[in-house]
Structure 1
Amino acid sequence: MLQFLKRLSRSSKPRNDAVEAPVDPKAYRVFTREFDVVTHAGELSSVIGPMSGEEKADLRQAFDTFKDALLGWKTKARIASLEASNELRNVKTTEDLENTVVTILVDHSRSMAGRNMLLAAAACQIAMEFLGAMNVKLEVLGFTTVGWRGGKCRRLWEQQGKRAAPGRLAETLHIIYKSSELAYREGRAYLLEPMLRLGLLKENIDGEAIEWAISRQMDIQAERRIVVVLSDGVPCDDATLSANDTNYLSRHLKQVIAQTEMQGAVELVGVGVGYDASQYYRTSARMDEIDDLGTTLIDVLRDALKKDFA
């Protein structure tokens, strides 16, 4: 007994040669959230800088030009939304629709620049009119990064010695275009022009963006929750992928989706623009013709709302 107590006493003393447990390089981590930003669309200038007079003029000219060019496209999408509205009213009660919240989460990666983002913004406007007519609660959100290749986050990691497997090194930028509390008429002003801003679209951390969208939904009173993710490719951030393994962000996205689908509180739908979203999402749609985005988004929303939710 005496020998046992002596061994116990020795083992209870602090050891100077203790080492930290090894880090699992595949486990998802965030190096720091210090530089992450969540902002409303009307306040983007405080994050990415104000536009010059020339940039404002160019944006206004592009907006006016594309607005006229979208007239035929919008007519087609509005006809589709009217047909979908009539179909839904035949199978869903007013109470069913009013107790539903939908989030449209838009990928703001650089590859979405130009026509893709224009039609994404226009499709969100059509969806806003479609859901607003049925009193379905709606949020429109966007996700990108504040800077390229990690920005301040990566520089801090370098200053601290570049530890191995640091996790996510980007500064995420999450944008609120329309909150569930914002009236539909007011929300229209925060869609097209802000999404077309120069310098806004950078890199994309999809898994965390979905977690953010869902966390916002959980604060909204509703019985049914649907998140539609509109994206044109896989998650990508150069700083994160170069400091971790190349599947780091993609693996996290799959984990977030799998966990969400398993829990069942939120329905996820992936809409792929030029890529197959079914590699991630159980329920998905693919568009190879970007002009079909408006009608495809309406079809996705109709099918999701029409389906019985267990």
Structure 2
Amino acid sequence: MSASRLHRVAVLVLEGAKPLDVGIPAQVFTTRASMPYEVRVCGAVPGVVAGGDGLAYQVAHGLEALDWADIVFVPGYRHPDREDPPRAVVDALIAAHQRGARLAAISTGAFALAATGLLDGKRATTHWHYARALAAKRPLIRVDENVLFVDEGSILTSAGAASGIDLCLHILRRDLGMGASNHAARRLVAAPYRSGGQAQYVPRSVPEPLGERFAATREWALHRLGEPLTLEILARNAAVSPRTFSRRFAEDTGYTPMQWVMRARVDMARELLERSERGVEQIAADVGLGTGANLRLHFQRILGTTPSDYRRTFAQGE
């Protein structure tokens, strides 16, 4: 895609569309100086689309918007397990993907992508309430109900509505880097980073009073990444034993405490590479990784690239 034009985002509104799911990509990618995207909201045909929760949508575009888009979002919709979207919608999604567009589903929008067959043999997620229904309807899909989103490259899926924000921020990180993603998160008053591997918030038979305490510990750690952070130090902040902290932290986030700390340090290094002229050795010290060699090792392991290559790609003004 030419760097001289805006990234093109189509939001495909299907019958029964859920309002939050529609609004999230439309708002996150709205055109502004800091966001080089153009958004078109579309339906199977232009006009009024009946939505869920007593709402309807007036869409200006039909399926031709999918021929135009670089990425197509499919928001969740009601009763996705009852029948597939119209054949014209399914064919348009397949054609968009074949042309090179990315397809991204929020919540039950995964059922529409599943109807294309493009998820067969791939890992995907959806809202926990519908995960078993998706697996039963499309047994060739490896449905993972325990994550916030799944990135399969050209096809992405996410869990319930709020995880659509996490998916959009993940796409921003891929497209524009950490700085743009963090800027958007601040604008949305959203958590700047929740990994796709973080667990969905599914109902439990017993209340979980430790959740908020651990969220506070993660926030506390994010402001102290340049300092020593061990399992014992984190558990002490959370006022639980290291064993309990380690077990429950992994259940909440999908990572061990020290895996999470390492990823947070690499993400902080990413933003410093984008926004400052500090050298790799200084950045390594600033984020608590000690040496440039250590930073390069973990950068390559987690991101598959080097700090220097990352800076060349995402540094401001380049």
| TM-score of the two chains, using structure 1 as the length reference | 0.29
- Higher relative contact order (CA closer than 8 Å, sequence separation 6+): 1
Q: Which has the larger radius of gyration?
A: 1
